[in-house]
Amino acid sequence: MAEKKVGIWMYKNGGGDVIEQKIVNLLKEREIDAITGLDLRFARGFNNGIVCKSTTTQEDVNMLDLDLFFSYNAGEQTLAQIYMYEAVAKYIPTINSFEAFALSEDKFKSNLALSRAGVNTSEFHISHRENPEYMIQKFEEWGKMVFKPLDGWGGNGMALLDSRQTLDTLLPFLNQTDIRHIYLEKFIKNDFTDFRVDIVGGEFIACYGRKASERDWRTNITSGGSIILREPTDEIIAIAQKASKALGMDIAGVDILYDKEKEQYVVLEVNGIPAFATPEQEAMGLDFNDKKIQKIVELIEKKIM
């Protein structure tokens, strides 16, 4: 049997380089060769395939000759990289599948898929920006709502609309941007903490949480939030598994809030590239990295056999 070969593109900061090396070593033990540093941003395509130079070995790799591609670098993702990722995924298995990855990157499409699968989400609404009257209508109905870019991350570009004045300030500004659609969510009354549940191959890996800073309503670390240790309940694990399945994710980080008004958990978003614990977070007690690495390696092996 010919040796199997998988390609990897993974983030290096926050201990990512160490995690990547562990994955490579575990794959090697299973006689699976791994080639790292495949940043598709600079890949070139031609009649016979898609060639990418490994930034690790400098060798040219025809991506379509690989048995699988593992793409795990949210921080350095570009539109060029995503374009080639989609092209590659038509011919070889990828983790996540391009379809699931793209779904998870879009707030409206993922929330719609979750809702249709019976997973509780926020109440959301999307309409063309040339129909601002719907935005006003939703504000009158909800009283407090969140405007979000469809493909945002880290809490960026969002606006909390809690008065007619903030809404009227945002409206003219929207016409100067290149957004096509206005995406809104009803504000969920919550205690400004969340749960992050990691799922790999349908299995529960880890649960921790984030707490917003005193100055912000968002729990994102980039918005000043901090990591907290928290134990999941069976209900929370089941919700995360259902959400991961609904979007067809191999790897998912499911963000969950407790809605104080409806007295239920809601899935806020599903991240397709949930970070491993950094060395600092490991020192705090987040000890899930080895389990997650193990499950990812098992998943890769299963997909290529």
Ligand X SMILES: Nc1ncnc2c1ncn2[C@@H]1O[C@H](COP(=O)(O)OP(=O)(O)O)[C@@H](O)[C@H]1O
The residue (of 105 and 269) whose beta carbon lies closer to Mg ion is 269
Which of 74, 100, 67, 104 lies closest to 86 in space, CA to CA? 100
Question: Distance between CA atoms of 268 and 194, rounded to whole angstroms?
Answer: 9
Residue tagged 């939030």 (tokens): 225
Q: Are 226 and 213 in contact (CB under 8 A)?
A: yes
Shortest distance in whole angstroms from residue 283 CB to ligand X: 24
The residue (of 20 and 198) whose beta carbon lies closer to ligand X is 198
If contact means CB under 5 to 8 A according to the sort of partner, which of ligand X, Mg ion, none does residue 278 touch? none
Which of 9, 6, 3, 4 lies closest to 56 in space, CA to CA? 9
If contact means CB under 5 to 8 A according to the sort of partner, which of Mg ion, ligand X, none does residue 169 touch? none
If contact means CB under 5 to 8 A according to the sort of partner, which of Mg ion, ligand X, none does residue 188 touch? ligand X
Beta bridge partners, 226, equal 211
> Residue number with the shortest CB distance to Mg ion?
269
Q: Residue 162 burial (CB < 10 Å; 0-12/13-18/19+)?
A: middle
Q: Cα 293 vs. chain centroid, distance in angstroms?
A: 17
List residues near ligand X by CB under 6 A: 122, 146, 148, 152-156, 185, 187-188, 190, 194, 212, 218-220, 255, 268-269
Shortest distance in whole angstroms from residue 203 CB to Mg ion: 22
The residue (of 188 and 293) whose beta carbon lies closer to ligand X is 188
Shortest distance in whole angstroms from residue 4 CB to ligand X: 34
The residue (of 9 and 183) whose beta carbon lies closer to ligand X is 183
The residue (of 94 and 122) whose beta carbon lies closer to Mg ion is 122
Q: Are 230 and 214 in contact (CB under 8 A)?
A: no
What is the separation, in whole angstroms, between the first and last Cα of the chain? 11
If contact means CB under 5 to 8 A according to the sort of partner, which of ligand X, Mg ion, none does residue 161 touch? none
Question: Distance between CA atoms of 120 and 263, rounded to whole angstroms?
Answer: 11
If contact means CB under 5 to 8 A according to the sort of partner, which of ligand X, Mg ion, none does residue 104 touch? none
Shortest distance in whole angstroms from residue 154 CB to ligand X: 5
Which of 20, 79, 296, 285 lies closest to 304 in space, CA to CA? 296
Choose one: 50-58, 80-88, 246-254, 268-276; the region binding Mg ion (CB under 5 A): 268-276
The residue (of 212 and 239) whose beta carbon lies closer to ligand X is 212
- Determine how β-strand 49-53 pairs with β-strand 60-62: antiparallel
Binding site for Mg ion (CB under 5 A): 269
